[in-house]
Each structure stands twice: as C-alpha cells, then as structure tokens.
Chains A and B, each alone.
Chain A
Amino acid sequence: MCLAVPAKVISIEEEKALVDVMGARMYAGIIFVPGVKINDYILLHAGQAMTIVDEKFAKESIEEWRILINGTAE
C-alpha cells in the first residue's frame, strides 16, 4: 500500500515535476517538497513526492555502517 519509489527529477512545472522512475518518465506532484530541484532524487507515494533523498546523508550512513561493521572504512 505504502510502496514508495525513488525517482529523479528531470524538469519542474509549478506543482508537478517530470520524473524518471527506472527509465520510465512520468509526472509527479511536488507540493510536499517545496525545495525540490532538477536532478534531485525524490520518493514517490501514490504519485506524490513525499521527501527529497539527501545524498550527503545517504553516503554518510553507508560509511558509518561500514566502519561499525569492519572497524575501518574500506
């Protein structure tokens, strides 16, 4: 029910954006993510972008996890 799919923003028009979902292009509502920019990754739920995926945090969390598990960053 709550499946969220990641999408990349191609272009922005007022309350919607053209996005790429694994190669397929579609429109998504962006009213909930006011700061969204072209090339951002967003998570879609029922056709609406609900959050912007933060690349910096994504990188950090995987690094943090590697260190925790390995004792070192590889």
Chain B
Amino acid sequence: MEQLNDLSDPQLIRKSIEAVLRLANTFKEQNGRVPVLMEVCGSHTMAFAKSGIKKRLKEHVRLIAGPGCPVCVTDQKSIDAMIKLTEGPKRIICTFGDMMRVPGSNFSLMEAKTEGKDIRVVYSPLDSIKIAEENPDQEVIFLGIGFETTIPILALTVHEAQKKELKNYSIWMTTKLVEPVLRVLLSSEDVNIDGFLLPGHVSVVMGKKNYEFLVEGFQMPGVITGFETIELLSGIYKILQLLIDKKVSIINDYKYVVKDEGNPVAQNLIKKYFDFHDEAWRGMSVISKSGLGFKREYAQFDAKRKFKVNVGEPRKTKCRCGEIIRGLITPEECVLFNKSCTPLRPIGPCMVSTEGTCAAYYQYMREV
C-alpha cells in the first residue's frame, strides 16, 4: 500500500505538528488554559509516547491516558481469582501473553507456571480449542480478557467449541466495554476532559455509532484515530478544531480501516453468545453492565459457572494503577515508578502490559 508510506513523511509530520500547535494556541487564548484530551486506547498511549508527540506537545496539549488496556483495567481480585483457578486438578489454563507477568496479591501466572501449573500462552483463543481436543481428560480454560476488539474472537471460539461438542472447554470471561467506563469517567467530578481520541480497533468492531452517547449525553467531541504519527496528529488537530469552533460531534478519521457501521458479522456473533454482565474495574469497583458474559444457554462454556473460585480481599499495595487508568495521575506521580516498579519487576499491570501507561512512560518518557 504505497500511499500508507506517506504517513511517515517527515516533512508532513513537521508541518502537522506546527498546525496542531497553532490550534492549541488558539484554544489557550480562548480558554486561558491548555486543552485536555484523553486517548482511550492503550495502543494510542504507546504510539503517542513512541512517536515523541507526547513529549513535543507537553506544554501545549495535555494528553492523558485512559482506561484502554484490557490488562491494566483488570481488577486485582479478578487476577487473584484467575491465578487461583490454576490450582484445581487436571487443568490447562490458556492465556494471552500479556497476562502472564501481571502480579496478583501473592504471585503471577508466570510464577504459578514455574511451580508446575499447566499454563500456556496462545496467540489466538482458537488455539486453545486445539489444546482441548488433544487433551480430552483435562479441563481447558481460556482466560478471556479483552475489549470489543477481542470479544468477537471469543464468540467465534465458543462457536467452534460448540460445533466440536467439546465438554472440557470453557472461557473465564472478564471482558470490558468502552461505553460504560467512559460514562462513569465523565460523570465523576475529578475527571476533566475536553475531548476524546477514540480507539481505532474497538471502532473496527463497534463503528462510529458506538460513541454517539458522548455527544448526546455529555456534549463531548471525539475523533476515531489511527496509530501512525500523522494520524495521531490529525486526530488531535480535528478535535481541537471542533473545540475552537464549539462544535460537538464524532469524526471518523480512520475511515480506511473503520466503517461507520462497524463490523456487523462480529456484532451479531457477539450478540448470539453473550449478554451484559457487571464487571469490576481496577480502581473503580464494579460498573454495572460494563462487560459481556455468557448467556444462560451457553453455561456449559462458562468457566465462572463451572468452577467455583473463592478469593479474599486483595493485599493492598502502593501501586496507583487505578488512578492511572482514570487519567488522574501520570506514572511519575507514583512513588514506585522507576524505583521498585520497572518492566523487569513490575508491581502493577500498567507496567507489565505492552499498552500500559507506566510501561509507555518508562520506555519513552523518562527524564534522564
């Protein structure tokens, strides 16, 4: 795709930064302060840090990272429960790699594996179906974390398990939805945001209509943005333009990837197997109907119904990931950052995940 090479044209990037700075100044003259934008998606946080945009715009546009990494928003108790789940007899636990090093109250999945538990990292949840077929006398459980991007693939996996009539397969659903958490963020008094850079990949599945509530309920503008440097800058530019013109709407600035209506095949498959469930978010407690879980008729694939796991209240640490994912503090404000908490010895998920805000700051934003 030749034209996509243009996205890294350095001259265009320089001009784009100048254009963004011009608008940021206009906003500042109008409002007497810098604009505050939240990038909801963890991949955006990483891309912003990596491209240098976050540093370059620091004094002009406040970019705050939001709750858009499925690993980071997983509540401590849920992590403890997943680790506890590995303790049962004849079990194979399958997971995405990012979950392995996330510390629970006592240890991580990685440490559980070292102690001999059968825990396997898979690239796709569908790979865990194969493992279930090959191990009929074991229970195979997939740790189903993820947002709207991943949920259709979980639905597809259940579809396969059903087709193959697997009796030893289930998914531990801890999925999260973008809309409910943004509603909670916008309703809380301590969060002040002028606009949103909306997640490119979630939007592939859900489409632009998924964000109309921002306009209707909160008079909040948003731009669906891609991940290249130019696309990030274009997203900021467009949102600043909306703010300056005092227009409230949602712009799809990632049209070549995101269709306005989303992906209907994926949406239908999700609806077939799952319905809304309450989910606990790190640092935000339980948000009603903020995730998807199995419908009753598919209970045989629901690991939460199949296996009873009881865990106590998690051990308190000084980790402030709960505030990080609400955009209340930056990683440098956590006393553990870059001291006892580093990617090699992470204390919270925001330092573990490849899209975690603390990991992004550690890699690209540290002052040396």
Q: Does A24 contact B (CB under 8 A)?
A: no
CB distance from A31 to the nearest CB of B (A): 6
Assess the B266–A32 pair: CB atoms within 8 A. Answer: yes
B257 in complex: contacting residue of A2, A29, A51, A62, CB < 8 Å: A51
Asked if B39 is an interface residue, CB under 8 A from chain A, the answer is: no
Asked whether B331 is an interface residue with its Cβ less than 8 Å from the other chain, the reply is: no
- The binding surface of chain A is classed by DSSP as mixed
B150 x A1 contact (CB < 8 A):
yes
Q: Are B257 and A65 touching (Cβ within 8 A)?
A: no
Most buried by B among A54, A55, A60, A65: A65
| In the complex with contacts A2-B355, A45-B149, A45-B153, A50-B205 CB distance below 8 A | yes
Interface residues of A in 1-29 (CB under 8 A from B): 1-4, 6, 29
Which partner residue on chain B sits nearest A51 by CB separation? B204
Question: Which stretch, B1-9, B48-56, B58-66, B292-300, touches the partner chain A?
Answer: B1-9
Let me know if A50 and B256 touch, CB within 8 A: no
Contact B255 A55 (CB under 8 A): no
Judge if B242 is at the interface, Cβ distance under 8 Å: no
Q: Are B124 and A59 closer than 8 Å at their CB atoms?
A: no
Evaluate contact between B146 and A1: CB separation under 8 angstroms: yes
**Contact status B3-A58, CB under 8 Å:** yes
Is there an interface contact between A47 and B43, defined as CB atoms closer than 8 Å? no
Output the least CB separation between A36 and chain B (Å).
11
Number of interface residues of A (CB under 8 A): 33
Which B residues are closer than 8 A to A by beta carbons?
1, 3-4, 6-7, 12, 15-16, 19, 41-43, 69-71, 96, 98, 123-127, 145-147, 149-150, 152-153, 156, 201-202, 204-205, 230, 234, 237, 253-259, 263, 265-266, 269, 353-355
A33 to chain B, nearest CB (A): 8
Picked from A47, A55, A69, the residue with its CB within 8 Å of the CB of B126 is: A47
B123 shortest CB reach to chain A, Å = 6
Chain A minimum-CB-distance residue to B202: A2
Question: Which residues of A are at the interface with B, using a C-beta cutoff of 8 A?
Answer: 1-4, 6, 29, 31-34, 41, 43, 45-48, 50-51, 53-62, 65-66, 68-70
Measured CB to CB, the closest approach of chain B to A47, in angstroms, equals: 4
23 chain-A/chain-B pairs, Cβ below 8 angstroms: A1-B145, A2-B43, A2-B146, A2-B150, A2-B201, A3-B354, A4-B149, A32-B266, A32-B269, A41-B1, A43-B204, A46-B150, A48-B153, A50-B204, A51-B259, A53-B1, A55-B1, A59-B3, A60-B255, A61-B253, A61-B256, A62-B3, A69-B19
Q: Which residues of B contact A60 (CB under 8 A)?
A: 255-256
Most chain A CB neighbours (cut-off 10 Å) among B69, B145, B237, B266:
B266
- Name which residue of chain B comes closest to A43, CB basis: B257
With a cutoff of 8 Å between Cβ atoms, the chain A residues found around residue B127 in the complex are: 47
Complex: A45 Cα to B126 Cα, angstroms? 12
Instruction: Please tell me if the beta carbons of B15 and A70 are within 8 angstroms of each other in the complex.
Output: yes
Nearest chain A CB to B233 CB, angstrom units? 9
Assess the A1–B153 pair: CB atoms within 8 A.
Answer: no
Q: Are A55 and B3 in contact (CB under 8 A)?
A: yes
Taking CB atoms, residues of chain B closer than 8 Å to A58 are: 1, 3-4, 256
A45-B201, A46-B96 provided; 9 other pairs, C-beta below 8 A?
Answer: A2-B70, A2-B149, A29-B156, A45-B149, A51-B204, A55-B3, A58-B3, A62-B3, A66-B12
A1 touches B70 (CB 8 A): yes
Chain B residues whose C-beta falls within 8 Å of the C-beta of A55 in the assembled complex? 1, 3, 256
Closest to A66 in B: B12
A1-B256 contact, Cβ under 8 Å, with A29-B126, A65-B230, A70-B15 = no
B266 touches A54 (CB 8 A): no
- Option from A1, A47, A69 in Cβ contact (under 8 Å) with B123: A47
- Report if A1-B204 is in contact (Cβ < 8 Å); known contacts: A45-B153, A48-B124: no
CB-CB < 8 A to B253: which residues of A? 61
Bound complex: CA A31 to CA B230 (Å): 31
| A56: B residues at CB distance < 8 A | 256
Distance (whole angstroms) from the CB of A10 to the closest CB of chain B: 15
Please name the residue on chain A nearest to B3 by beta carbon.
A59
